[in-house]
């Protein structure tokens, strides 16, 4: 990172380096990707497997492959634009790491919230371009305005994505009339074992980067800036295999050893994204136009039990071959899921209650998945690893997309034997930030 930062004023500082506007859909690395390449980079689709657990948590959910892994391995310093018509970190090909954080506001003044959003915008513009925050980093008589642990590191494709939860619209800020009807706490699902310490939040920040220290640095500094206005409620780190470990960019595997999905909806297809992900003015409050709804589930995997299961049982549970990722009865990972295929005895080749069959349904309901594995050390109560999947999905309608699939999975998914959902939250992610504007401007102004 540079020693001195030009981001010392309001967002859109004329001294700031130019950023490509996402609304222009310019390729990040100067090279267009084919649809197949994009699918391989961004993860699973409706037939892609959710690792739902007591529900949708989707293990097979997002493939989370790294865009241009060979470049990442070489230390590519490319940054992803912060300003644009939509927030980054949604359609962006998944980076290697995530640091997810939910905050609660401690203020009751809407003016304080607006002031924080403006400060966070200035900081986020710096963080995503590899600059130090503020201009007080060389004065020996004052605390530095940046914590410094990412000084000298490149941006590592860092993205910061912001959204507000249902609790943000209570009586504190007088915004109840602006709460979207689609934004509500999720209903209870069969098999849920939710712990309040992993649930809810007034506002969330999803920090993703190809370096975990860069992602941590972003959340740490946003939390520092928020002191007196908001406090951390819960956090979760996550990972996938890196570009350096897999320079060919094959589909990542989840902690159960299976390839993590095969085909999210095509993120390069604007019409498809408008149908599946982005809100329009006809969906509800005008401030959400260009935004989307995020569902977050923390899914604990019973990996010790899974490790004692036979390979044939594991493959029947997922409905896919472990080695190739192909649907049972098929050869290629990207072959269509044929749920009508039967063996000589008339038994379905892909079990009807396998994860892939239930997640796919009739193939008409899709959502964009962007999940990461996690390992949070040892559970001293059970002596087992607290490891699993931080499932994240983006969708235009929480009830018609996420909840519909989750309810189906929670009832009969064979994977339910090997997992439990311990955390849950939903957020309305703002539209993108315009230059000179700030995060949440369409709601708060």
Helix H, strand E, coil C: the string for 350-367 is: CCCCCHHHHHHCCCCCCC
Residue 115: burial class (beta carbons within 10 Å; 0-12, 13-18, 19+)? middle
Length of the chain: 445
One DSSP character per residue, 11-35 reads TT-TTSPP---GGGT--TTSS---H
Q: Determine the Cα–Cα distance for residues 163 and 23; give it in Å rounded to an integer.
A: 19
Contact 69, 132 (CB under 8 A): no
Element (H, E) at 297: strand 292-301
**pLDDT in single tens digits along all 445 residues of the chain:** 444 443 333 333 333 333 334 434 433 334 444 444 444 444 433 333 344 333 333 333 333 333 333 343 334 458 999 999 999 999 999 999 999 999 999 999 999 999 999 999 999 999 999 999 999 999 999 999 999 999 999 999 999 999 999 999 999 999 999 999 999 999 999 989 999 999 999 999 999 999 999 999 999 999 999 999 999 999 999 999 888 898 887 788 899 999 886 668 889 999 999 999 999 989 989 999 999 999 999 999 999 999 999 999 999 999 999 999 999 999 999 899 999 999 999 999 999 999 999 999 998 999 999 999 999 999 998 899 999 999 999 999 999 999 999 999 999 999 999 999 999 999 999 999 999 999 999 999 8
Backbone angles phi and psi of 70, in degrees to 5: -65, -35
Residues forming a β-bridge with 387: 375
Q: Where are the alpha helices (DSSP H) in 64-106?
A: 69-73
pLDDT given for residue 420 in this prediction: 96
Whole-angstrom Cα distance, residue 266 to residue 40?
Answer: 10
Phi-psi region of 51 (alpha: psi -120 to 50; beta: other; left: phi over 0): left
Q: Is the pTM of this model over 0.75?
A: yes
Query: Beta strands 230-239 and 159-164: pairing type?
Result: unpaired
Residue 204 phi, psi dihedral angles, 5° rounding: -125, 155
- Cα 370 from Cα 44, distance rounded (Å): 8
Rg for the chain, CA atoms, rounded: 21
The CB density around residue 412, as the number of other CB atoms within 10 Å, is 13
At a CB cut-off of 8 Å and minimum separation 6, what does 394 contact?
90, 277, 292, 293, 294, 367, 368, 370, 429
What 3-state class would DSSP assign to 127? helix
C-beta separation of 95 from 157 below 8 A: yes
Cβ atoms of 98 and 208 within 8 Å: the answer is yes
**CA distance linking residue 231 with residue 425, whole number of Å:** 17
Please state, in angstroms and rounded to a whole number, the distance separating the CA atoms of residues 59 and 320: 13
């Amino acid at each position: 990172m540079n020693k001195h930062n030009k981001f010392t004023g309001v967002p859109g500082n004329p001294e700031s380096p130019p950023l490509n506007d996402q609304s222009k859909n310019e390729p990040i690395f100067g090279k267009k990707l084919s649809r197949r390449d994009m699918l391989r980079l961004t993860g699973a689709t409706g037939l892609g497997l959710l690792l739902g657990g007591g529900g949708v948590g989707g293990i097979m959910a997002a493939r989370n492959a790294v865009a241009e892994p060979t470049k990442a391995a070489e230390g590519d310093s490319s940054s992803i634009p912060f300003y644009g018509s939509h927030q980054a970190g949604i359609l962006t090909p998944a980076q290697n790491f995530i640091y997810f954080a939910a905050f609660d506001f401690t203020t009751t003044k809407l003016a304080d919230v607006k002031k924080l959003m403006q400060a966070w915008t200035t900081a986020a513009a710096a963080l995503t371009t590899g600059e130090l925050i503020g201009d007080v980093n060389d004065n020996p008589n004052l605390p530095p305005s940046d914590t410094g642990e990412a000084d000298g590191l490149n941006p590592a494709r860092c993205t910061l994505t912001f959204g507000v939860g249902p609790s943000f619209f209570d009586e504190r800020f007088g915004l109840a009339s602006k709460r979207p009807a689609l934004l509500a706490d999720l209903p209870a699902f069969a098999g849920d074992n939710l712990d309040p310490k992993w649930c809810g939040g007034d506002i969330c920040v999803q920090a993703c980067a190809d370096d975990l220290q860069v992602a941590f640095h972003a959340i740490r500094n946003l939390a520092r800036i928020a002191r007196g206005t908001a406090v951390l409620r819960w956090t979760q780190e996550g990972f996938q295999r890196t570009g350096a470990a897999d320079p060919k960019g094959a589909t990542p595997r989840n902690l159960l050893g299976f390839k993590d999905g095969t085909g999210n909806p095509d993120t390069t297809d604007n019409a498809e994204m408008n149908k599946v992900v982005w809100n329009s003015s006809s969906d509800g409050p005008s401030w959400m136009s260009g935004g989307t709804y995020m569902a977050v589930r923390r899914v604990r995997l019973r990996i010790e039990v899974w490790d004692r299961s036979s390979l044939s049982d594991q493959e029947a549970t997922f409905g896919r071959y472990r080695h190739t990722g192909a649907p049972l009865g098929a050869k290629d990972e990207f072959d269509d899921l044929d749920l009508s295929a039967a063996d000589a005895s008339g038994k379905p080749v892909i079990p009807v209650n396998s994860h892939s069959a239930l997640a796919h349904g009739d193939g008409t309901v899709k959502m964009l998945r962007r999940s990461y594995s996690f390992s949070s050390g040892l559970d001293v109560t059970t002596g087992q690893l607290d490891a699993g999947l931080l499932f994240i999905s983006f969708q235009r309608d929480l009830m018609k997309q996420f909840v519909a699939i989750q309810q189906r999975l929670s009832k009969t998914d064979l994977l339910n034997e090997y997992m439990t959902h311990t955390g849950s939250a939903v957020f309305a992610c703002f539209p993108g930030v315009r230059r000179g504007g700030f995060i949440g401007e369409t709601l708060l102004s």
